[in-house]
Amino acid sequence: MATTTETDVRPGTGADDRYDRETVRAVLAAARRDGRGSLTAPEGREVCLAYGIPTPAEGLARSADEAVDLAARMGGTVVLKIVSPDILHKTEAGGVRVGVRGETDVRRAYDDIVAAAGAYDASARVHGVQIQQMVGAGQEVIVGATTDPTFGKVVVFGLGGVLVEVLHDATFRLAPVDGPTARGMLDDIAAADVLRGVRGAEPVDADAIADVIRRLSDLVADFDEIREFDLNPVFADAHGAVAADVRVVLDDEVRPPPVRYDQQEMLATMTRLMRPRSVAVIGASAEHGKIGNSVMRNLVDGGFAGEIHPVNPKADEILGRRAYASVTDIPGEVDVAVFAVPAKLVAAQVEQVGHKGIPVAVLIPSGFAEVGEVEMQEHLVATAAAHGVRLLGPNIYGYYSTHQDLCATFCTPYDVRGGVALTSQSGGIGMAILGFARTTKMGVSAIVGLGNKSDVDEDDLLTYFEADEATQCVAMHLEDLKDGRAFVETAQRVTVKKPVVVLKAGRTAMGARAAGSHTGALAGDDQVYDDILRQAGVIRAPGLKDMLEYARGLPVLPTPQGENVVIITGAGGSGVLLSDACVDNGLTLMDIPPDLDAAFRAYIPPFGAAGNPIDITGGEPPSTYESTIRLGLQDPRIHALVIGYWHTIVTPPMVFAELAARVVAEARDDGIHKPVVVSLAGDTEVEEASQYLYDRGVVAYPYTTEMPVAVLGAKYRWARSAGHLGAHDR
Amino acid sequence: MATTTETDVRPGTGADDRYDRETVRAVLAAARRDGRGSLTAPEGREVCLAYGIPTPAEGLARSADEAVDLAARMGGTVVLKIVSPDILHKTEAGGVRVGVRGETDVRRAYDDIVAAAGAYDASARVHGVQIQQMVGAGQEVIVGATTDPTFGKVVVFGLGGVLVEVLHDATFRLAPVDGPTARGMLDDIAAADVLRGVRGAEPVDADAIADVIRRLSDLVADFDEIREFDLNPVFADAHGAVAADVRVVLDDEVRPPPVRYDQQEMLATMTRLMRPRSVAVIGASAEHGKIGNSVMRNLVDGGFAGEIHPVNPKADEILGRRAYASVTDIPGEVDVAVFAVPAKLVAAQVEQVGHKGIPVAVLIPSGFAEVGEVEMQEHLVATAAAHGVRLLGPNIYGYYSTHQDLCATFCTPYDVRGGVALTSQSGGIGMAILGFARTTKMGVSAIVGLGNKSDVDEDDLLTYFEADEATQCVAMHLEDLKDGRAFVETAQRVTVKKPVVVLKAGRTAMGARAAGSHTGALAGDDQVYDDILRQAGVIRAPGLKDMLEYARGLPVLPTPQGENVVIITGAGGSGVLLSDACVDNGLTLMDIPPDLDAAFRAYIPPFGAAGNPIDITGGEPPSTYESTIRLGLQDPRIHALVIGYWHTIVTPPMVFAELAARVVAEARDDGIHKPVVVSLAGDTEVEEASQYLYDRGVVAYPYTTEMPVAVLGAKYRWARSAGHLGAHDR
């Protein structure tokens, strides 16, 4: 076994980013040669030194004399720890002494430890005793890295002790991270104020901690075989950060990287899928009630202008279109093959699709992995790959591309074209999307089922939606990601241009995970998803209804140009609830300057309240709503309006809706584009008024003060993340 | 000034609940005589001792010799603190030494402190130096009490240091608390696990901490003039809890207790309001568009079977009813006078109402405190009190008592009778209630506007709804409570019988409060409301829509008899989201025993998943839903069902709705009453199916997996709190 003979007692301060990869490689190779799954403490420190991660001064003593000498050179109190590849739990083995000081005590501690180790396990190989400068002043934090099954290498940061262990107050990022991202992690924990100095304490050196995070992230990114790496605790004070303990777990096997497609290749294939000129339906049928009939009917009835080719060896014609015995018989180029044949026939047909040169197969059939037919699915995927065919599904309802009038599903056509593209992993959720869209007249560019995700996944579709001019917003329901890292890379690129909403199901199903370190134990699936989706710039929806409402509202709302939100309300009670909702959604209620306050006051009764919310009071005529909304739109210091409408005889719902929509339209004609959301409180006419407003670009809801503000909040989260409002939290 | 001469060095352990009130009274009187707003540390300790709150052994030394003697008798390390009524900031004055041990050091510390105090303020009166046994082992917690403007004396508990100061992890209760309530506070903080022992630590003595909380709560309840009382830190370990530091702030003035009515008196008056035989309308009008006309019309059109007496000196008859010049002219007993006259005429008419012996006036008119006419309202209240008239409002839409066909509002009648009574402080929210009720056909017993709450408030109405057999659930929107303590007392009584849902608006408007202690600073309004509403057994709704949906659903759902929830779903995707929602709402997914698992498996396809969720898979016919739902209802080990429906051609929405409603009805006929909630995913027909189910006692929603489970969660929160499920968290 390789043990370090390092006796350099200066604090480890590996100078800069010229990392010493050779040393790390050698340490890891030695451990591998030894068949060990973890590094010894001196090895861990050596790795830290090689990457410039500060550790306490330390050295290996092979005798009590050496221990005394080392302790003397460290000039203070020391910790002694047994070094043995056979003793994992040093404390249990009596192999640790802390706070030892002075020649006599150091000598005695050395002898005691070696004796205790022998008593604990007589066969244990003892390489000596590690003498470590004792640190412990300042704030205890934890910096770690682990290998997530979805995202690969991630780094974690949290405060030490109770805060991470009991409250799980920690934050994750994909490794490697750059300096600003690492620095951002410090602000991202609940107890961030502790680092800024509380109870009279000095703020800690945040840059030093961020530097440790960045260096560790580089280390684990460089060496895939490091499974977990704990720096716990790291002691940080105003002058630096030192990793007091290091624990490194190695991987038995390094997994092969997931299959990836080139971005241009994805885009080309997805464009043929979503904007086809020619579609083949394999298993098309003239018989009512068959899926192959529903698909044909929907393609025809939906008004798809391209070619539709039924494939069915037993038919000459289906729905007035010539039928072909095989997909290879179809003349000319075909872009998509939609499958409506039993599962067991799919693979053979995919082969034909490959021969015909069709780039993508849409696999509606179920009966694959979801019913335990994992091998059949694997065979299918291999067949498709061998023949250059990409697969959507299997086990899906199909897909809609509304701007092409394309409905390749067994459901019914959907014709409200608009700016949101939706995908769902589950068919049930897909059906909920369709029903919700229809009843709310949501403007849609695409709805795509992903089902078993045997091949085409969120990355492929995101890449297409990024380029698709009709799509202004993407909403995705997902239960897992095949390749989380690829998703993040794609999402980071796309979300700068368009909002991406994700409903991640299985949030709370935190499976118990075997973990060899604190970091591993911290990495509950959902926390990692939550942090990393945010890192990707994605807006996470807390539930299905929220995803649907965000999807409906985000493309409708203009992007805000600043943080100043103003509430104008006819009901004081709504104003209070809308204020609550603004705070809940991280929105900033504008501090209204005196001249603007005076301008609002000119329109409202003397007992109304200016300030923010602006309470115009309940008995006011339409003109008061109109004047105040117009002022709110025209004053350039205001960036978004939240309106609380109260149904009265003086200003009935449709009168309000008409005026609000008109004033917003007038502003738009003047080049003023601000998000306006409305909560309507009143009798049932407010429902019609809400739809009227929504149809005209004003996000409006009856009987809720929460939802309009939640949609505005989602738009703001995106705008901030995409850099439209200055701050850029990536 | 009174300073203690106590030199008893035993830890303070005032034996039991025979509190020494005399001593406390004397200490407080001395401070008052001195014109002091706070107590000295020795005084604070004396008060603690009198109430049996353990404090470290301590004594007052007037000389270095006495200091040495005391320290020796305490047998360990001590803290020395200057005792001077003129020195508030002891540390600044150099008046504190910690960790002093041994004769030489104690003597030197004594001399240093006295010298430093003299240097700091030569004129300061020095009574000596307090010698205190040094404590500091174990877990640091904070126990405190403060005077909340709404609730009066409250106690708070939290972990010390960063956890309360940065994360505000603390919990509040009305003082005084009994033992079990105090004990429950320990489980109610986020970091509760710390007390149970983490990182190998022994659990702390929870009973000892609870005892400190209970004793402090008794103390502040007994002495109203104690405004704030901090025990911070209290050190707790496995063997007890000791308050290491005491800080007491006194009140300058003791506020008069709020006006209260006797419960029987409230009930009698409210019963005449809600079930009147005879109603007068003051300001009744024959002219369309006038409020006095709308009210008359609604009373008549609503079908009220009692007498309706218009009062208007200028009319002989209104809507076919004889009009009276004055309310005093009406023959016979009148129960309610509804006002529809301008604000300035109200007080004089209230006087007449008093002369007529009418017990309650419903004041629709606005123009009082809400527009700044505070004095006019105060005059009105005084007039009413002098004439024995209770006031509802002013500034309200009126009220509905649907089982009486009574609509005394300027809105429109509402005729779906049912079990929920709703109140709102704001008219806008009242209108939202009405619109929501109408569109969802919510069964209502009453809707009442409270407006300015000049007199009648939530207590009065709760007392009536408690007795009202038609009311099975109460939902209240409120922005404040006039007398929080009276509300809690009433709610605690009522919520044992019926769920009470509260939407507390202004949650996030945490005004900055001047506070002289940690406890005071911790007491942000909303945290106090949140904890104490829970203590009252109230279900707090997070938003308006939630309040409305809880109100609609709670009376419909039977009370669960146990914690075992089972999800049955046709869509695996919905099952995952429903599981998330169950966890979010604190519901327990039943661990299905093998025999029950086998019983479910008998109905579902081999590739379906038993377990929980039970995934019956999407392609199943109606019979599979029917068999599994029936089994779920019939097996007595299951207590509630959550169903995820997926729209398919095989089982269309209305087919599912009919079968689900039928199976539930059959079970009900067999005496099986279990809550069943459904999430429907599908095309727009699922909306009709949801309403069909809801009308038949099955809480069902389209396009959301969250709301059905949230309503079930609210029912469970109530059932637990009311003691139906064993645990009783009060």
Residue A415, CB half-sphere, CA atoms under 13 Å: how many? 8
Whether A165 shows a pLDDT value over 80: the answer reads no
Cβ proximity of B475 and B550 under 8 Å:
yes
| pLDDT, average across residues B85-107 | 87
Mean pLDDT of chain A: 91
Res. A60: pLDDT tops 50: yes
**What is the pLDDT averaged over residues A209-227?**
96
What is the ipTM metric for this complex?
0.89
Measured between beta carbons, the chain A residues lying within 8 angstroms of B573 are 424-429, 477, 479, 505
pLDDT, averaged across chain B? 90
CA atoms within 13 A on the CB side of A588: 14
Residues spanned by CATH 3.30.1490.20 within chain A?
A: 21-133
Q: H-type helices in B304-392, by residue range? A: 343-356, 374-386
Cα–Cα distance, A306 to A278 (Å, whole number): 5
Given CB atoms, is A376 within the 8 Å cutoff of chain B?
no
Question: Is 90 exceeded by the pLDDT of residue A166?
Answer: no
To the nearest whole Å, the CA of B666 is away from the closest chain A CA by: 28
Assess A163–B contact: CB distance below 8 Å, yes or no: yes
Q: Nearest 10 degrees: CA dihedral of B562, B568, B573, B578?
A: -20
Residue A50 has pLDDT above 60, yes or no: yes
Peptide bond preceding B613: is omega within 30 degrees of 0, i.e. cis? Answer: yes
Strands (E), A314-426: 317-318, 321-322, 336-339, 360-363, 390-392, 398-401, 406-409, 417-424
Q: Work out the average pLDDT over B589-606.
A: 93
Lowest mean pLDDT among A40-44, A53-57, A71-75, A94-98: A71-75
Nearest to B229 by CA among B242, B248, B253: B248
- Residue intervals of chain A classified under CATH 3.30.470.20 are 139-250
Q: For residue B411, which residues of chain A lie inside 8 Å, CB to CB?
A: 683
Out of A190, A438, A572, closest to residue B684 by CB:
A438
Render pLDDT for B358-415 as a digit per residue (tens, 0 to 9).
Answer: 999 999 999 999 888 999 999 999 999 999 999 999 999 999 999 999 999 988 889 8
Count other C-beta atoms under 10 Å from residue A542's C-beta: 15
The distance of B161 to chain A (nearest Cα, Å) reads 8
pLDDT for A610: 72
Dig out the tokens for B704 from the structure: 């959301």
Percent of chain A with pLDDT over 70: 94
- State the pLDDT confidence band at A726, using cuts at 50, 70 and 90: low
Segment B154-176, tens digit of pLDDT: 999 998 777 777 888 899 999 99
> Is residue A510's pLDDT more than 70?
no
What pLDDT is attached to residue A57?
A: 85
Task: Assess contact for B139 and B159: CB atoms under 8 A.
Answer: yes
Residue for token digits 């109304």? A608
- Region A702-723: mean pLDDT is 97
**Does A705 contact B507 at a Cβ distance shorter than 8 Å?**
no
| The CATH homologous superfamily of the domain defined by A269-394 | NAD(P)-binding Rossmann-like Domain (3.40.50.720)
The residue to which tokens 């527009």 are assigned: B371
Cβ of A435 and B703 within 8 Å?
yes
The span from the CA of A719 to the CA of A711, in Å, is 12
Q: What mean pLDDT is predicted for residues A270-298? A: 95
A415 inside 8 A of chain B by CB = no
HEC sequence for A33-94: HCCCCECCHHHHHHHHHHCCCCCCCEEEECCHHHHHHHHHHHCCCEEEEEECCCCCCCCCCC
Residue A434 has a pLDDT of: 95
Q: What is the pLDDT of residue B681?
A: 96
A431 with B681: Cβ contact below 8 A: yes
pLDDT at residue B534, as a whole number: 93
Residue A509 predicted with pLDDT over 60 = no
- Kindly identify which residue of chain B lies nearest to residue A605, measuring between CA atoms: B371
A371 DSSP assignment? G
Distances, alpha carbon A239 to alpha carbons A200, A209, B105, in Å = 16, 10, 33
pLDDT 10s digits, A338-384: 999 999 999 999 999 999 999 999 999 999 998 889 999 999 999 99
pLDDT at res. A584:
93
Contact B506 A576 (CB under 8 A): yes
* A370 touching chain B per CB within 8 A: yes
Looking at per-residue confidence, does B507 or B590 come out higher?
A: B590
pLDDT tens, B655-706?
A: 999 999 999 999 999 999 999 999 999 999 999 999 999 999 999 999 999 9
Among B289, B425, B572, the residue with its CB nearest the CB of A426 is B572
Could you give the residue range(s) of every CATH 3.40.50.261 domain in chain B?
Answer: 414-551, 564-721
**Nearest residue, CB atoms, B576 vs list A166, A411, A479:** A479
**Which residues 6+ apart lie within 8 Å of A19 measured at CB?**
A50, A51, A52, A215, A218, A219, A222
Confidence of residue B568 (pLDDT cuts 50, 70, 90): very high
d(CA B362, CA B282): 10
- CATH classification code of B139-250: 3.30.470.20
Q: Residue B517's pLDDT band (boundaries 50, 70, 90)?
A: very low
Where in chain B are all domains bearing CATH 3.40.50.720?
Answer: 261-395
Q: B414-551: which CATH topology? A: Rossmann fold (3.40.50)
Closest listed residue to residue A711, CA positions, set A565, A569, A570, A572:
A565
pLDDT at A1: 29
Q: Is pLDDT above 60 for B31?
A: yes
Stated as kind and residue range, the H or E segment containing A345 is helix A343-356
- Confidence at residue B165, expressed as pLDDT on a 0 to 100 scale: 76
Q: Give the count of Cβ contacts less than 8 A between chain A and B.
A: 241
The answer to whether residues A316 and A324 touch, using CB atoms and an 8 Å cutoff, is no
Q: pTM of the entire structure?
A: 0.90
What pLDDT score was predicted for residue B507? 72
Closest by Cα among A48, A49, A61 to A130:
A61
What is the identity of the amino acid at A235? F
**Structural tokens at position A179:** 């300096």
Q: Return the pLDDT at B199.
A: 67
pLDDT digits (tens, 9 = 90+) for B197-216: 876 778 999 999 999 999 99
pLDDT at res. A160? 77
Which of the residues B140, B368, B431 would you substitute to probe the A interface, choosing the one with the greatest number of A C-beta atoms within 10 Å? Answer: B431
Separation in Å, CA of A582 to nearest CA in chain B: 9
The segment(s) of chain A belonging to CATH 3.40.50.261 are: 416-555, 564-721
Fold entry, domain B261-395 = Rossmann fold (3.40.50)
The CATH code belonging to domain B21-133 is: 3.30.1490.20
Q: How confident is the model at residue A11 (pLDDT cuts 50, 70, 90)?
A: very low
State yes or no: pLDDT of A2 exceeds 70: no
pLDDT at A414 (0 to 100): 93
Q: What superfamily in CATH does domain B564-721 come from?
A: Succinyl-CoA synthetase domains (3.40.50.261)
- Statement: residue B516 has pLDDT above 50: no
Q: Which of B289, B431, B479 is the closest to A683 by Cβ?
A: B431
Confidence of residue A523 (pLDDT cuts 50, 70, 90): low
Fold of A416-555: Rossmann fold (3.40.50)
What residues 586-625 of chain B have any CB closer than 8 A to a CB of chain A? 605, 607, 617-619
More confident residue, B137 or A377: A377
Chain A residues lying within 8 Å of B439, measured CB to CB:
684, 687
B15: which DSSP letter? -
Report the SS3 class of residue A389: coil
Q: Residue B471 pLDDT more than 60?
A: yes
Q: Give the integer Cα–Cα distance in Å for B418 and B402.
A: 8
Handedness of CA A693, A694, A695, A696 (dihedral sign): positive
Q: Which residues of B touch A434 (CB under 8 A)?
A: 682-683
Residue-wise pLDDT for A589-641, tens only, equals: 999 999 999 999 999 988 777 789 999 988 889 999 999 999 999 999 999 99
Write out pLDDT tens, residues B601-636: 999 988 777 789 999 988 889 999 999 999 999 999
pLDDT for B726 equals 67
SS3 annotation, B79-134? EEEEECCCCCCCCCCCCEEEEECCHHHHHHHHHHHHHHHHHHCCCCCCCEEEEEEC
pLDDT for the residue B5 = 34
Say whether pLDDT at A13 is over 50.
no
* CA B79 from centre of chain: 42
Predicted confidence band of residue A260 (pLDDT cuts 50, 70, 90): confident
